[in-house]
Amino acid sequence: MRIFAAIVPPDDALADLGDFLEPRRDAGPELRWTDPSLWHVTLAFMADVPERRLDDVALAVAEAAAAREPFAARLHAGGAFPHAGDARVLWVGVDGGEDSLDSLSTLARGVRSSCAHAGATPEGGGFTPHLTVARARHPFEATRWLRVLDAYSGPDWTADEVTLFASHAPSGGRPRQYRPVATMPLGGEE
């Protein structure tokens, strides 16, 4: 199974970003815009987890989430992977002040470590808090898009839970679908 642990911003924050991006979606034929229903901030991604390990991973993520307190956040500015001159992904960043970024990074490290101990080693390098808004089939120069994204600053919200998702690729070339498996509160409250 492909699974990932993520923070999903609240509907009003996602709607605000959607309103900001909507008039710009037709401006770049090189881009495939991510469906807003799939927007999330990935903390840990595991590409190949045996289904029998799913409960162990969910428990590990719940324990990591319980060890961290809710924190302030907002979607703000943007970036490109791997870099602006040769971009394949456009993203919007997560902000909320230095304490919030520290909390988010600490949460991601805890979730990744807990998943690894549960037998589901996360992929990827260093953690860059982001929400993917568009992908490209071929690398492109993204500087103009970064200027647009850097103008964005969404409403404040509180990150107070982590959701574990299973990712499925439907037939017929349709985009991946994400199914929530479990939602765990930060701070251990229910």
Catalytic residue among 40, 83, 117, 168: 40
Structure tokens at 47: 């590409």
Respond yes or no: is residue 40 known to be catalytic: yes
Classified as helix, coil or strand, 9 is: coil
Structure tokens at 60: 């590990």
CA–CA separation, 89 and 5 (whole Å): 20
CA–CA separation, 121 and 23 (whole Å): 39
Respond yes or no: is residue 130 known to be catalytic: yes
Q: Where are the beta strands (DSSP E) in the chain?
A: 2-7, 31-33, 41-46, 71-81, 87-95, 130-140, 157-159, 161-168, 177-185
Catalytic residue among 83, 117, 130, 138: 130
Residues designated catalytic:
40, 130
